[in-house]
Structure 1
Amino acid sequence: MLQSYTEYVKRYGIAELVFRGPSEGNPFAEQWVKGTMAGQAEEKRAEGFYDGNGVYKLRFMPSCEGTYEITAVTSWGDEAKVTVEVSAADENCHGPVRVANTYHFAYDDGKEYYPCGTTCYVWELQSKETQEKTYESLAASPFNKIRFCVFPKHYVYNLKEPAQYPFEIRENSPWSPSDFETEKLEKAPRNMFGGIDAMIENPDEVWDYTRPNPSYFEHIENTIVRLGTMGIQADLILFHPYDRWGYSRMNLEQQNFYLRYVVNRFSAYHNVWWAMANEFDLFRWKPVSEWESNAETVCRQDPYRHLRSIHNCMTMYDHSRGWITHCSLQRIDLYRTAENVEIWRPQYGKPCVLDEIAYEGNLPFGWGNISGEEMTRRFWEAYTRGGYGQHGETYENENGVIWWSHGGELRGGSPARIQFLLDIMEENGGYMEPLPAFFDETCCTNGASHPRKDCIMYYFGANRPCRRPFHMPEGQEFDVEVIDTWNMTITPAGRHSEEFTIDMPSRPYMAVRLVKVK
């Protein structure tokens, strides 16, 4: 029976139908609801999900204004036909992010999107106080995307049990949460990555993977909604290998059952991205064919074509595969990270998002102790080479709450400098494309794509020139600015043409912007 539905919704909002249906047996596996949303400009088909207590939900995201008709059918014989009126989107809602101009991004309504993300792996599974602090920190930060896991994470600094689990525990389970008491895990031996190899021996005896916990997924759903109101993309990591509970050991049928539930539940939210895995190559027991099957499930269940990626540790996935919309990349070298964008862009022909370029912090591990200056440098290197840097922070502290995994409070020096870069990116306008440059600089331009600024950016990284000669085409004049990317200053250096020299302060992390005089 149709219990309720959304009569009025804004563009890119959620049109939801709620049904009352069977609760006996296993409704997650034995029942279904399906529907079609049709308007003048689009038609979408979607599947619903069971939300517990006899409640089933079917969700759509209209991407146009006007009148839509939704028809729905259920496995137990109920049918429904309703009309939904769609009004203009909220001022700050521009719809899902898409790939644009091969190597870049734009929202569904055409507004350009410059991904400036951060990583907080299981922040949504922390205490309510820590979660609220994370929201506060995000609101004051430059970050418009956040990567986080659907499943809880087991790793160094991550030994607490989550408040709830994604699946029901079977009756007569041989395991209980007390088996993973923190003091026991603290004594467990560390592996080469700083993690702890501890796992439930037979996960199938513990978890009923055909019975997701609606409360667990509702919490993640509420997180997605709140991030959306803040203009932040939720880059959901669907699988990861840092796992003591056994979720990473699901068989292919269990994996795809879980994916159908997650995609049916979350795909109607405009700010969702699908990250198939964090460090897929650490799933040494999982063949590529399973990842491809997972991707097929996500593509089939998602009528909105949200962005899709898969992330590496040391071995690259084949990002040229058709289901992958953009490259989600981790460094595979101690130093070269953003520098490799010039290799990956032509190799894959897709946007390059450097989702893990090491973390600003002070941990004992090499992946978690670069300086704020180095993090900022990697962002500028990525930007001028045609890619997008992404942030992470790992400062050990007295309360044990580390941004990279728990969220909480930002402590580093790079976020303010990343905001400075983002402001410059938006001021430049238009997507920047790399230009050939000398061996001791990187260079990019937006050509004539912006109505106000036609500019060229030079970045010198760790080099410290006292002055810099320029050789520009005859007949062109430029207003020149010297940019200190760490001290966040922009100093005018006059109007020049053809051959000229600009005085520099002999400091690292400097850039020069040439704005063509029109």
Structure 2
Amino acid sequence: MKKLLSVFILLCLFAQISIAQIKTWQSPKENKTIQCAQWEVNDLVYSVQEDVDKPFNKEVFAIVTGEEGMQKIPLFYGGDHNWVFRYSSASVGAKSFVLQSEIKALSGKKGKFLITENTKQDRHGGIVLKKDNPQHLFYEDGSHYFNLAFECDWLFALDYGQEEISKTKHLLSLVNKYKFNQIVMNVYSYDVSWPKDKRLEQYPEHEYGSREDIFPFLGSNSEPDFSSLNVDFFKHFDKVIAEMHDKEIVSHLMIYVWNKLENWPDMESEADNMYYDYVVKRYQAFPNMVWDVSKEALHYTRATKEYISERIERTRNLDSYNRLVSVHDYGFCRNHKDQVDFISMQNWQHTLYQNMLNARKDFPNKPIFNIEHGGYEESPYVVFPGAYDDAEACLRRNYMCIFAGGYSTYYWQGVSWNAIIHNPFEQPEDFSKPHFEYFKHMRSLFDSVHFENCEPLSRYNTAGYNLTNEKDGIVLVYAPKENNWVGANKIISDKFNPENATKQWFNTLTGEFSEEVKYVKKSLEFWDWRPWKGEADAILIIRGLEKKKK
């Protein structure tokens, strides 16, 4: 029995172990070739027997060499005398690596990778920019990334302390099912400072604020110990990010947030730098990662623009994968556009469409992403009502962002902040349910019209909003439900030959398409009545247009 136990222990030390979509290799043999798929995340765990003073601050790097060149990747301390080399690759082929460190037991460790081509159908790699189409987002494989985000600040708290993350998996399965492909989230938040709905007291299982057992440092939020980090916090966070990666959901990770009663260390203190660096080291290998220095970074008094700039530079110096970086503060992005990869907006104004359009014109070489437009769809609890809580009004504001050529974020009050109803469709009948399906319809529509080729030609707006794809011969016009009519004659006359064109309408609430019929130009276009008037906003779609020859 002792011999069998010894063999089992040796197998655990040298074999590959799969944990929550991360392939883990415990004490890999010298020069062992590790085979893994493109964009798959691997943890190579190296143990050091002796105690190391301030292990979170030690510099340990893996120098990876392949046909595409060299990559210097930081390792992170995983607790229990272990350092972790977390690795993924966008390119296929053979690679080798060697560790460099002031820790003698680690320095000089070597190994090899053999990266095979990705076979997961819905996996496309990290999010990147394209020089020839700078106002849209793309995956590393070249396909368009239609950034449709979903806010869930307290996602880290679901299932915390549990071995299985069943609630997290259920919520993420809904996010995936309804075609959202990004979650705007915090690494850590403590609690909201505004009043809480009394009804939430009847359902304490939905309350995740003021959890003293959850904290990224030692101690608790109320009694912090900033001398070291809480590795167990990040082990749980690994499971969350890995599950998102498995479902191809991007983490728009806001490393800080200032207005949720958090107890952070002083800016630029040793503890502050230790925390920030650790997050970047630990999660950069995940292809589904986008960095955001802080939620509402300069809206509160804690941070300065100089501090935010330093954090961005710090991120870029540590992140060997060059993940996209932005800051949830439009003023900062506007004044420091060269420091961010895309422009983050927060705009509640009634003139949202025009504001988004202006931003797109002001930043012709950057994607525009409205993270927060004041539309927070109502839930069984009034968590944060904002300016708009009617589901259709919130949907319309998302369409305003998109028809201005930008990207948007959906908020449901039942998951966006401290209250999380992870299974909303399994709640009592008197619980109002979210309209996730509206966004599934939206995503299907814009995938079908190739949004990456669309441009808002506002001079052709009639009673609605125009979006035109000249490359593929498609014109869209958005019509609010109050409108009798929207038209496209002017843009078609100016730019296209409509001989083989068709037209149909799309219902934004049901996803229904009207019959596709031949497009016929009418001199009095406003007599061409639209369907679903007074019932739902609709989109006129004209396809099959041919560009006029110059």
Report the TM-score, using the length of structure 2 for normalisation: 0.80
More displaced stretch, 473-482 vs 407-416: 407-416
* CA deviation profile, 1:142-179 (whole Å, cap 9, x unmatched): 2110011111232045533153321113xxxxxxx6xx
- How many Å separate the matches in 1 of 2:42 and 2:443? 34
More displaced stretch, 342-351 vs 291-300: 342-351
**SS class of match (1:84):** strand
Give the letter aligned to residue 74 of structure 1.
S
Residue 370 of structure 1 is matched in structure 2 by 389
Residue 93 of structure 1 is matched in structure 2 by 123
Asked if residue 511 in structure 1 is aligned to residue 539 in structure 2, the reply is yes
Give the letter aligned to residue 322 of structure 1.
D
- How many Å separate the matches in 2 of 1:248 and 1:340? 36
Residue 490 of structure 1 is matched in structure 2 by 513
- How many Å separate the matches in 1 of 2:119 and 2:309? 36
Residue 224 of structure 1 is matched in structure 2 by 241
* CA deviation profile, 1:387-414 (whole Å, cap 9, x unmatched): 112101015xxxxx76775351345454
How far did 1:317 drift?
4.1
Give the letter aligned to residue 37 of structure 2.
K
- How many Å separate the matches in 2 of 1:80 and 1:160? 43
Match of 1:167 among 217, 224, 245: 217
- Does the CA contact (< 8 Å) of 2:40 and 2:88 recur in 1? yes
- Does the CA contact (< 8 Å) of 1:125 and 1:163 recur in 2? no
- Does the CA contact (< 8 Å) of 1:149 and 1:237 recur in 2? yes
Asked if residue 330 in structure 1 is aligned to residue 346 in structure 2, the reply is yes
Asked if residue 233 in structure 1 is aligned to residue 250 in structure 2, the reply is yes
- Does the CA contact (< 8 Å) of 2:156 and 2:188 recur in 1? no
Match of 1:3 among 27, 46, 65: 27
Residue 103 of structure 2 is matched in structure 1 by 76
Asked if residue 64 in structure 1 is aligned to residue 88 in structure 2, the reply is no
**SS class of match (1:44):** strand
* CA deviation profile, 1:360-416 (whole Å, cap 9, x unmatched): 116275417521111211122122110112101015xxxxx7677535134545421
Match of 1:102 among 101, 110, 134: 134
How far did 1:253 drift?
4.2
Call closer, same or farther: CA 1:122–1:467 in 2, change over 3 Å.
closer
Matches within 5 A, 1:281-300: 281-300=298-317
* CA deviation profile, 1:322-358 (whole Å, cap 9, x unmatched): 231112221242x233441111112233111111122
- How many Å separate the matches in 2 of 1:212 and 1:9? 30
Match of 2:461 among 431, 435, 438: 438
How far did 1:492 drift?
2.6
How far did 1:281 drift?
2.1
Matches within 5 A, 1:308-319: 308-312=325-329, 317-318=333-334
- Does the CA contact (< 8 Å) of 1:299 and 1:323 recur in 2? no
Match of 2:498 among 461, 473, 476: 476
CA-atom RMSD, angstroms?
A: 2.7
Residue 35 of structure 1 is matched in structure 2 by 62
Residue 390 of structure 1 is matched in structure 2 by 409
- How many Å separate the matches in 1 of 2:311 and 2:323? 15
**SS class of match (2:109):** strand
Matches within 5 A, 1:353-364: 353-357=369-373, 358-361=375-378, 363=382
Give the letter aligned to residue 226 of structure 2.
D
Report the TM-score, using the length of structure 1 for normalisation: 0.84
Give the letter aligned to residue 483 of structure 2.
R
**SS class of match (1:406):** coil
- Does the CA contact (< 8 Å) of 1:359 and 1:370 recur in 2? yes
- How many Å separate the matches in 2 of 1:56 and 1:338? 49
* CA deviation profile, 1:109-166 (whole Å, cap 9, x unmatched): 1011101110000122133554243123223222110011111232045533153321
**SS class of match (2:90):** coil
Matches within 5 A, 1:174-213: 206-209=224-227, 211-213=228-230
Residue 191 of structure 1 is matched in structure 2 by none
Give the letter aligned to residue 513 of structure 1.
I
Give the letter aligned to residue 352 of structure 2.
T
**SS class of match (1:375):** helix
- How many Å separate the matches in 1 of 2:249 and 2:399? 21
More displaced stretch, 362-371 vs 301-310: 362-371
Call closer, same or farther: CA 1:323–1:28 in 2, change over 3 Å.
farther
- How many Å separate the matches in 1 of 2:497 and 2:262? 67
Report how many residues are paired: 474
* CA deviation profile, 1:468-496 (whole Å, cap 9, x unmatched): 57343274232011222123221136212
- How many Å separate the matches in 2 of 1:460 and 1:286? 42
Give the letter aligned to residue 316 of structure 2.
C
Asked if residue 112 in structure 1 is aligned to residue 144 in structure 2, the reply is yes
- Does the CA contact (< 8 Å) of 1:123 and 1:405 recur in 2? no
- How many Å separate the matches in 2 of 1:475 and 1:94? 36
Residue 415 of structure 1 is matched in structure 2 by 436
Asked if residue 344 in structure 1 is aligned to residue 359 in structure 2, the reply is yes
**SS class of match (2:137):** strand
- Does the CA contact (< 8 Å) of 1:147 and 1:237 recur in 2? yes
**SS class of match (1:459):** strand
* CA deviation profile, 1:251-293 (whole Å, cap 9, x unmatched): 4543322221111111011101111111112331321111111
Call closer, same or farther: CA 1:360–1:148 in 2, change over 3 Å.
same
Call closer, same or farther: CA 1:479–1:110 in 2, change over 3 Å.
same
**SS class of match (2:477):** strand
Call closer, same or farther: CA 1:368–1:222 in 2, change over 3 Å.
farther
List runs of 5+ in structure 2 lacking aligned partners: 1-12, 14-25, 160-164, 197-207, 425-431
Asked if residue 261 in structure 1 is aligned to residue 278 in structure 2, the reply is yes
- How many Å separate the matches in 2 of 1:86 and 1:162? 42
- Does the CA contact (< 8 Å) of 2:265 and 2:271 recur in 1? no
* CA deviation profile, 1:54-92 (whole Å, cap 9, x unmatched): 100122322211100111122122312211111011322
Residue 476 of structure 2 is matched in structure 1 by 457
Call closer, same or farther: CA 1:316–1:479 in 2, change over 3 Å.
same
Match of 1:151 among 182, 185, 188: 188
List runs of 5+ in structure 1 lacking aligned partners: 170-176, 178-198, 396-400
